[in-house]
């Protein structure tokens, strides 16, 4: 019997499962974060190696019974970066006397897309700290919208909302803007109560700008004008992502799965976004994912194995 290992390598933790060739889950385990752009490929290779061994030991199997290991990792969005982790892990495993039949690195968004729709057409909208949208059409082509990072993109994300919230606060401190409840909330939560403190937090203390988003939501719940304006603008940005994906994929109905805390959790932001989609985009259907990302990694590995057999 052969086995497949699917791994969801996140920025805070790594979720690993092992299945039979048929995709039935047999065991799962968890490890440290695996964003190799932050932690380095050596540390992440050790994390992957330990997880694979935990699966192997739990099922009491041999390495040569593992047909494929596929990880979708934060940081693997660019081919060169993904290939570096692939190469470094293979070398690490080789140093332990192990050669895997198939080891593949994909982006975390890619495995999330496969899991969400069981490999079928559809699209995922990711809005957490950053934002991006991926879609798969009826021919298996992958389409992308957004994902240009916080400097020139990430519209509709926690970072974009937080940045606009802090901009409103800075204008109030400076006398260029009206009072916003956001100012009072961040003074209470983050002890930011003056221009000097704000500047030091942002430029000297590497402040997490996306962490301001919940304060913007809280202010909007109380009908704060500045906060409501930010939410209106940023939900419109995500609406534009979806409209663009609709044109790229050209499906009669585009199924969309939400991923990321600010749009999956119940809050005023996700509520307004869902209402806008319902009222303005009749060809869009918001649904729950079929499977989690780690199962998406297994599905991708199954397809790769099938394709390799066809070529043989």
- Tens of pLDDT, residue by residue over 59-88, are 999 999 999 999 998 777 778 888 998 999
pLDDT-derived band at 37 (thresholds 50, 70, 90) equals: confident
Residues of the chain with CATH 3.30.420.40: 3-118+292-311, 123-162+209-287
Q: What is the mean pLDDT of residues 205-234?
A: 94
Q: What is the pLDDT confidence band of residue 49, given thresholds at 50, 70 and 90? A: very high
Length of the chain: 312
Q: Is the pLDDT of residue 289 over 90?
A: yes
Q: Under a CB-based contact definition with an 8 Å cutoff, are residues 230 and 160 in contact?
A: no
106, burial (CB in 10 Å: exposed 0-12, middle 13-18, buried 19+): buried
pLDDT of 311 over the 60 cut: no
DSSP 232-260: HHHHHHHHHHHHHHHHHH--SSEEEEEES
User: How far is the C-alpha of 233 from the C-alpha of 22, rounded, in Å?
Assistant: 45
CA distance to 182, 185, 193, 207, per residue, from 197 (Å): 16, 15, 7, 11
With a CB cutoff of 8 Å and minimum separation 6, the contacts of 9 are 33, 34, 35, 44, 48, 71, 72, 73, 74, 76, 108
Please give the pLDDT value at position 10: 78
Domain 123-162+209-287 matching CATH 3.10.150.10: the answer reads no
| Other Cβ atoms within 10 Å of 57 Cβ, number | 10
Would you state the pLDDT for residue 130?
84
Reported as a pLDDT band with limits 50, 70 and 90, residue 312 is: very low
The reported pLDDT for the residue numbered 26 is 95
pLDDT in tens, 7-31: 998 777 899 999 999 999 999 999 9
- 3-118+292-311 is classed CATH 3.30.420.40: yes
Q: What is the DSSP letter of 209?
A: G
Give the pLDDT confidence of 138-182 residue by residue, as tens digits: 898 999 999 888 889 889 999 999 999 999 999 999 899 889 999
What mean pLDDT is reported for the chain? 91
78 vs 122, more confident: 122
| pTM to 2 decimal places | 0.82
């Amino acid at each position: 019997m052969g086995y497949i290992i699917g791994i969801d390598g996140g920025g805070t933790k790594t979720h690993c499962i092992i299945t039979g060739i048929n995709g039935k889950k047999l065991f799962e385990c968890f490890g440290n974060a695996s964003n190799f752009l932050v932690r380095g490929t050596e540390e992440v290779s050790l994390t992957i190696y330990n997880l694979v061994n935990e699966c192997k030991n739990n099922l009491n199997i041999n390495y040569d019974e593992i047909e494929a290991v596929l990880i979708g990792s934060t940081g693997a969005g660019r081919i060169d970066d993904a290939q570096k982790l692939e190469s470094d892990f293979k070398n690490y495993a080789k140093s332990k006397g192990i050669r895997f039949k198939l080891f593949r690195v994909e982006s975390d968004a890619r495995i999330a897309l496969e899991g969400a729709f069981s490999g079928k057409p559809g699209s995922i909208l990711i809005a957490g700290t950053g934002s991006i949208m991926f879609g798969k059409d009826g021919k298996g082509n992958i389409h992308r919208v957004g994902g240009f990072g916080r400097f020139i993109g990430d519209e509709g994300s926690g970072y974009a909302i937080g940045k606009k919230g802090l901009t409103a606060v800075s204008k109030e401190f400076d006398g260029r803007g009206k009072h916003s409840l956001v100012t009072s909330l961040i003074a209470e939560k983050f002890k930011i109560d003056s221009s000097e403190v704000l500047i030091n937090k942002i430029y000297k203390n590497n402040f997490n700008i996306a962490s301001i988003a919940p304060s913007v939501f809280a202010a909007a719940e109380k009908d704060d004008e500045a906060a409501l304006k930010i939410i209106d603008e940023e939900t419109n940005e995500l609406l534009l992502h979806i409209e663009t994906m609709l044109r790229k994929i050209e499906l009669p109905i585009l199924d969309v799965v939400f991923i990321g805390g600010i749009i999956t959790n119940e809050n005023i932001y996700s509520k307004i976004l869902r209402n806008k989609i319902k009222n303005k985009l009749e060809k869009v259907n918001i649904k729950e994912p079929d499977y989690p990302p780690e199962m998406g990694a297994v599905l991708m590995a199954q397809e790769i194995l099938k394709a390799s057999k066809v070529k043989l």
